Structure 1
Amino acid sequence: MFYFLSENIIMHASNIPANPLGFASKVILARKKMFIALSVMFISPGLISTSFAQDNTSDASALNLDLPAVPVTGNPLGVSSDELVVPVAVLNGRELSLQRESTLGETLKSIPGVSSTYYGPGASRPIIRGLDGDRVKIMQNGIGVLDASSLSFDHAVALDPLVIEQIDVVRGPAALLYGGSAVGGVVNAIDHRIPTESLDGVTGRAEARYGGADNEKNGAVVVDAGNGLFAIHADVYKRDSDDLRIPGYQASDRLRAQQAAQGDPIDLRKGTLQNSSSEGDGGALGASLTFDKGYAGFSYSTFNSNYGSVAEPAVRLDMESQRWDFASEFHDLGPVISRVKLRLGNTNYQHQEIEDGQIGTTFKNKGLQGSLEAEHAKIGNITGVVGVQFQNTNFQALGDEAFIPKTNTNSKAVYLYEELPIDTLKFSLGGRLEHAKVSSDGGGPDDPNNPGTPRFGSAQTKSFDPFSAAFGTLYALNTHWSLAGNLAHTERAPSYNELFANGPHFATGQYEVGNPDLNKEKSNGIDAQLRWKTEKNSFSIGAFYTKFSNFLSLENTANTRGADGEINPQDLNNDGIADISGEQIVPEAQVIGVRATFNGFESEAKFRVYEGHGDLDLKLRGDYVRATNSDTGTPLPRIAPLKIGTGLNYQLNRFGARLDVLHAFSQNRTDTFELATDGYTSVNAMLTYVIPAAFHLEAFAKANNLLDEDIRDHSSFLKDIAPMGGRSILVGMRGDF
């Protein structure tokens, strides 16, 4: 099975678009040849060891190959999780492999404080503490992922969980290191495509899975090799899925009742989430020179995805991204500067929205990003870093749904982060100063409301100087208990779509209007955590409160618009189609600045409740967010309800089993233009077995939504027409060598 899937993955790699540079073509050819050889070697039955197969008493923890949770995000000084002032969650190793889903948002939903924008199985971006879009920074190896996912909920994140080795999730304000777009938090996907450590030999992993509610067929192979000085990395993956099977109707009970009350056609589709199938592939080659005190390397990667837009039955999105990265780090340099780290990333991203086989709209985003960071030697007992970051990106939309003009975003920033430990107390202090320019080329079709005037107006440039600062403390009460707290002031420059959008966006069912006169988004926040940890038990509970003096919100107005931009066109038949222009009518939504508050809590715990004939762990989790528009006193939209969960994880030698139960309460605290959402109980189970072999090989079976519930996440823009999958079973196998 592994050999077949690996061969299929490799053959499909021939469809990856070649880079115009001749070197890139040779790179891809070399990658395919290498994977053919390595896949055969990895899957060969001859690798199974008879002596190992007879050993049934091996330590389970060794067989699981669980990696230590060492975060690399949230603190530039490289401290362990217990020493972090900010709350950080880490997924890696076996746990990440077993929790992988088709999108980044769904993969991270099990982390307290995290929900997703779920736009069907093909597109889902993480939401942290109720904040989404441009307020959550998505990074790949410390450099921002350059795509269009923050622009619209139907745009997927341009990275695939199949080849990610670790994901760090920083909850709360992290703006002083990563910019104003990290006010909600940071998600850093680490794939080791640029080797950072010396390697002598060959290591790798492979994974394949089949089944689930969308009948997915996925596989990936990752290989690293080196001779002690030179290290190379290669990976390739492929995924394919059918339309998602759902428990009942595609439209929610509330939506169907609303349609009936308004005299609209009632959506009676059931059993399948139409136009939700997807396919994708990609891979990478990387290489590094590794030294005793550092490394220097580069990588080239491709990402391709084609998936249906659930809200538009005739529309599919065809996405591709090509990316070059360079990274270097050297340490133990001297008595003044002890470490220097450099990262550069160049991305060429494009996706086309294809309707009935014809290209309707093309989105392009190209840019260069980078950071240079230097750690200074100790000044007394103070350690810290100073860094500079830059970004220059060009965005362009062409075609029917080009609701944003051609824009350029240019930003430069300098930041400082310092730590001072004093006995059982540690202080952290940081600040960031940024200069951002967002330029629009203007133009576009004529505005029907102002004949002779382009819809996007004239060319203009807006400049902003966001400043952010944070102060944190970590107090060790004793060897088991600690208390952490953070105060932060963050500022964010408006994004290009918030400033210059002016057009129909049918994926969200709105005519979006930006505001070039927007000011910086500003907030002040406080965050506190109580933590407890012993060798096999841990517990944490945290609370947060963030107050925005200027929260940039996309608010529905009392107007409607036609596709050409005409305000309040006539709809004589009351059928959603303007009889005069023949164009679809949608509500108008404009970006405005409002006062807002976000507050809530997060908690998780793990307890070893039994040791003897195997080990049994109990897991608990819970989170809650309350978000309010302080100007109107009304709730903000798409805020996830209170969620509580529990789970049991049993391990006996090679055999493992787990049961997870999550209950989401109903969400009746809704915005004016959204429906309430019923609560649900999700029950999932998993069985694992480590197969006796000369390398780590584990089979697993996952049963999802055992109660076959109609699960709808309130944080999803399409929650009333796109439920989660029904009862299903997925089987897979993963191996490390």
Structure 2
Amino acid sequence: MVLPLTANAAPQSETTAVSRTIDHDHEPTDLAAVEVHANPLGGSAEDLIRPVEVLAGERLDAAKANSLGETVNKLPGVQSSYFGPGVGRPIIRGFDGARVQVLSNGLASGDVSTVSVDHAVSIEPFLADQIEVLKGPATLLYGSGAIGGAVNVIDGRIPEHVTARPLQGRAELRAGTVNDQRTGMVRLDGTSASGNVVFHLDALHRETGDYDIPGFAESEHAHEEHESHEEPGHEEDHHEEELGVAGVLPNSAVRTDAAALGVSWIGERGFLGAGVSLFNSRYGVPGHAHAEAEHGEHEEPGLDEHLHEDEGHEAHGEGGVRIVMDQRRGEIRGGLDDLGGAFESLRVKLARTEYTHTEFEGEEIGTVFDNASTEARVELVHQPLWGWTGALGLQGSRRDFLAVGAEAFVPGSESSDTGVFWIGERDLGPTRLELGARHDRNRIDVDDAVAIGPDREFDTTSLSAALRWDVSDALHVSFGLDRAQRAPTAEELFSNGLHVATGSIELGNPELDVETANRAEIGLHWHNGPLQIGASLYQVRFDDFVYLADTGIDGEGVPVRAWTQHDARFNGAEAELDWTFIDNASGAWSLRVFGDVVRAELDGNGRRDVAVSVPHGDHSHDYNASLANDGDLPRIAPARLGSELSWTTGQWRASLGAVRYAEQDDVGEHESATPGYTLVDAHLAWHMDTSGGNSWELFVDGNNLLDEEARPHTSFLKDLAPLPGRGVEFGVRAFF
């Protein structure tokens, strides 16, 4: 396990005394002391056993971006998927999609971001108080979908504590040059005169236009491939049609609105609260069509001219694919401490989410995804038993999913999951041992079962052990062993058709079995005054790893990809150094250096034949595909090396950083390599405290200052949509 120096925090109980106040200010946050809500057991940074990363306070403010993946992208071992600026999902140690659970205050986000890579996560990072990243299998706590890790966003929308003041909050306004961004957010928290009723209110609005890029949207590699298929004399026309206008990425505008209201009653021993929230995002999917634009010009901020405002409006785009997603969520949470008897505390959570995702192709509705989910979770922390402090948990969820339209490559389905778990810790001299176990039963009933395959039911069992050895006050060594299992998703089992987002025919396999991951990890953390170092080595061996393989078959002009499974192994390493090398009248000067690498390969020899049935109208064509049993897995995040020089003094703080992404040439069959690139950023902030206890902060952030062409290897759009070019964001924050 890795113990990052400024980002680590120990698992901390959600049973912290409810009388504890919370305060939202600009002061530097000691991340080593921040409570982590993702684990029901108590602890501190000194007690940390499992690898957990935390973003909070000033560091979270500096990292916040339009997507959750981009926000956590600079943590060691964590990168982001990319499907335009509206879509970015966290990738943890090479794992993404259905292997990384995205949570809102410990419950699933309720969106369909695992169904397709062009579907956004329905969590707004600008409204987060804290973001927690659990690296390594988190199946023990959160079930099958967390076999690669979990990201838990804490937003305080249902208050669990009284506030430090009768009324407090924060607000922010920011603008950006690379995409004409305009973002505004406000948050209010307050406590009644009686001290028992606490409320929360937040709102956010963001608009951006198409963003600037260095050069053309289409990569040289893709352009050369297209030219090789062009008729002589048509290459120039193809360049204009496919690459679009240099300097701007058409169809990359985003508009997002989010809001929430929560109220809680808080007593001496517990709390009970409820909240409602909405999330609405409208974004273009770049790469599928190119609008007309003048060189260097932006669209006007906002998407009103392009997207349906409601059913009575028409889209006026140039044929590009645009998405409108809308989510409404209701939650109830409660907690009770000092129970007496065998248990110390109880936490109960219930969420109901209604989600609709509509894809517009020009002026026409292409596909509509509807997802209704209900999830409940109960946690009971028990009294010490035979020296073990532990917690019992019960979790259940149900999802009704329906897709209708041109991109309905996944049939409708009803999924249910029920899991029970126990996790416990005990001290053994200079060591601390953690053990845990979980069992889940998952069932998927598919609407078109007769045509596609039978309904499926899976049982998964996960076991975990972790040990921390305090060699000295300065040196801590940790070991982790896990056996985690994941049930295949409905998308992996029953996909059967053209997936427009990835430009491929995607075929599920109704006979997929449970995949099993066996992980071993060793980590260390050493600190001596202003210098701290953390590092880890890990290996994960999979039995029956499920992945999307390129078959090499061309189906009606697009590649055919099939879900299959084979043994695989992931080997990786992470390291981070944090050194405050000067702390005097000139200010505090700190250097942070981090790096990570992961290699993911199929674990076998030779090749195997797979029968593939490609749909073609009312019929299908049958093929025999030959797949490699060895070699690299596709779309694995490249190695990185990053550094950041920071300075703080009085009212000022500043930083200059750079991250080098290596060339990724360890690629899967039929996959192209991706060139390396370097992203340089800088940040400057000045804050002022007022006599009334409020404060203001002005900030300027520069991103991709070298204006480098950057194409993430993890993106299906890497050859069609590079990352934004040089941009500056600036604004003001208020804390009151």
TM-score (norm 1): 0.85
> Is the alpha carbon distance of 1:71 and 1:639 closer, same or farther for their aligned partners in structure 2, counting shifts above 3 Å?
farther
SS of structure 2 residue aligned to 1:260: helix
Q: Is the 8 A contact 1:386 1:416 kept in 2?
A: yes
> By how many angstroms is 1:538 displaced?
2.3
> Structure 1 vs Structure 2: percent identity of aligned residues?
35
Which aligned pairs between 1:394-473 and structure 2 lie closer than 5 A? 394-442=400-448, 456-457=451-452, 460-473=454-467
Q: Choose which of 579, 582, 589 in structure 2 pairs with 1:610.
A: 582
Q: 2:526 aligns with which of 505, 510, 532?
A: 532
Other-structure match for 2:121 = 157
Residue 706 of structure 1 aligns with which residue? Answer: 705
Q: Match for residue 72 of structure 2?
A: 108
Residue number in structure 2 paired with 1:715: 714
SS of 1:256's partner is helix
Q: In 2, are the aligned partners of 1:71 and 1:90 still within 8 Å (CA)?
A: no
Counterpart in the other structure of 1:593: 565
When structure 1 is superposed on structure 2, of 388-397 and 665-674 the one drifting more is 665-674
Shift of 1:533: 2.9
SS in 2 for 1:106: helix
Deviation at 1:590, TM superposition (A): 1.1
**Equivalent residues of 1:288, 1:297 under 8 A apart:** yes
Partner residue, 1:288: 264
Q: 1:675, 1:636 → 2: CA distance?
A: 12
Cα displacement (A) at 1:556: 1.8
Which residue of structure 1 lines up, in the alignment, with residue 326 of structure 2?
320
Show CA shifts across 1:269-291 (max 9, x none): 32111100010101000011111
Deviations 1:309-357 (A, max 9, x none): 1132211000000000111111121131111111111000011001112
> Does 2:280 correspond to 1:304?
yes
For the pair 1:504 / 2:504, whether they are aligned, the reply is no
Aligned positions of 1:480-519 closer than 5 A: 480-519=474-513
What aligned pairs does 1:27-46 form with structure 2 within 5 A after superposition?
A: none
What residue number does 1:33 align with? none
Distance 1:71 1:537, change over 3 A: farther
Superposition pairs of residues 59-78 of structure 1, within 5 angstroms: 64-66=27-29, 68-69=31-32, 70-78=34-42
Match of residue 677, structure 2, among 676, 680, 689: 680
Letter in 2 for 1:179: G
Query: How far is 1:598 from its partner?
Result: 0.7
Q: Give the structure 2 partner of residue 8 of structure 1.
A: none
Structure 1: where are the runs of 5+ without partners?
1-60, 444-453, 563-584
Structure 2 match to 1:168: 132
1:653-672 paired onto structure 2 within 5 Å: 653-672=650-669
3-state secondary structure, aligned to 1:254: helix
Deviation by residue 1:4-44 (Cα, 9 ceiling, x = unmatched): xxxxxxxxxxxxxxxxxxxxxxxxxxxxxxxxxxxxxxxxx
The code of the aligned residue for 1:648 comes to: L
CA contact (8 A) 2:699 2:731 kept: yes
Aligned to 1:578: none
User: Per-residue displacement from partner, 1:661-684 (whole Å, max 9, x unpaired)?
Assistant: 111111111112222111111111
User: Where in structure 2 are the equivalents of 1:181-192 lying within 5 Å?
Assistant: 181-192=145-156
CA 1:718–1:62 in 2, change beyond 3 Å: closer, same or farther? Answer: closer
Aligned length: 643
CA RMSD in angstroms, aligned pairs only:
1.6
Answer yes or no: is the 8 Å Cα contact 1:73–1:170 preserved in 2: no
Amino acid at match of 2:29: D
* Aligned pair partner of 2:189 in 208, 224, 228: 224
Q: Structure 2 CA distance, aligned partners of 1:673 and 1:276?
A: 28
> Separation in 2 of the partners of 1:132 and 1:288?
35
Q: CA deviation at 1:605?
A: 1.7
In structure 1, the residue matched to 2:221 is 254
**Residues 73/561 of structure 1: CA separation in 2 closer, same or farther (3 Å cut):** farther
Counterpart of 1:332 in 2: which secondary structure?
strand
- In 2, the alpha carbon distance for the partners of 1:140 and 1:428 equals 25
Aligned-partner Cα distance in 2 for 1:691–1:716: 41
Is contact 1:690–1:699 with CA below 8 Å preserved after alignment? Answer: yes
Q: Give the Cα separation in 2 of the matches to 1:192 and 1:608.
A: 32
Question: What CA distance in whole angstroms lies between the structure 2 residues aligned with 1:698 and 1:87?
Answer: 32
Cα distance between partner residues in 2 of 1:431 and 1:71: 23
2: CA distance, partners of 1:393 / 1:352: 18
Per-residue Cα deviation, 1:547-579 (whole angstroms, up to 9, x for no partner): 1111111112243334xxxxxxxxxxxxxxxxx
Tell me by how many angstroms 1:257 deviates: 2.3
State the one-letter code of the partner of 2:599: R
Tell me the CA shift for residue 81 of structure 1.
2.7
Distance apart, 1:262 and its partner CA: 3.5
Partner deviation per Cα, 1:482-513 (whole Å, 9 max, x = no partner): 01111000111110111111111010011111
* Pairing partner for 1:542 from 536, 541, 547: 536
Checking the alignment, whether the CA contact within 8 Å between 2:255 and 2:281 is kept in structure 1 is: yes
Secondary structure class of the residue paired with 1:498: helix
| Structure 2 unpaired stretches of 5+ | 1-23, 290-319, 605-628
User: Is the deviation greater in 199-208 or in 228-237?
Assistant: 199-208
Q: Which amino acid aligns with 1:293?
A: R
**Equivalent in the alignment of 2:56:** 92
Q: Are residues 186 and 64 of structure 1, via their aligned partners in 2, closer, same or farther at CA, if it must alter by over 3 Å?
A: same
Aligned to 1:619: 592
> How far off its partner does 1:65 sit?
4.3
In the alignment, what sits opposite 1:725?
Answer: 724
Deviations 1:379-399 (A, max 9, x none): 242100111100011000011
Cα displacement (A) at 1:536: 4.1
Question: 5 Å matches for 1:631-670?
Answer: 631=604, 632-670=629-667
C-alpha separation between the residues in 2 aligned to 1:559 and 1:68? 50
Q: Residue 365 in 1 paired to residue 371 in 2? A: yes
- Change over 3 Å in CA distance of 1:212–1:112 after alignment to 2: farther
Q: Distance in 1 between matches of 2:63 and 2:583?
A: 25
Change in Cα spacing, 1:62 to 1:304, as seen in structure 2 (3 Å) is: closer
**Whole-Å Cα distance in 2 between the matches of residues 382 and 233 of structure 1?**
37
Q: Which residue of 2 aligns with 1:268?
A: 243
Give the AA of the match of 1:157.
V
> Taking structure 1 as reference, are residues 469 and 74 closer, same or farther at Cα in structure 2, changes over 3 Å only?
farther
Match of 1:723, SS? coil
CA distance in 1, matches of 2:62, 2:519: 34
Q: Tell me the distance in 1 between the aligned counterparts of 2:588 and 2:133.
A: 28
* Residue 476 (str. 1) matches residue 441 (str. 2): no
Aligned positions of 1:50-65 closer than 5 A: 64-65=27-28
Cα distance change, pair 718–71 in 1 and its aligned pair in 2 (3 A): farther
> Which deviates more, 429-438 or 718-727?
718-727
| 1:63–1:654 contact (8 Å) kept in structure 2 | no
3-state SS, counterpart of residue 255 of structure 1: helix
Once residues 664 and 126 of structure 1 are traced to their aligned partners in structure 2, the CA distance between those partners, rounded to angstroms, is: 17
- 2:315 is matched with none
Q: What is the TM-score of this pair, normalised by structure 2?
A: 0.85
Letter in 1 for 2:269: K
Q: Bigger CA drift: 606-615 or 691-700? A: 691-700
Amino acid at match of 1:394: D
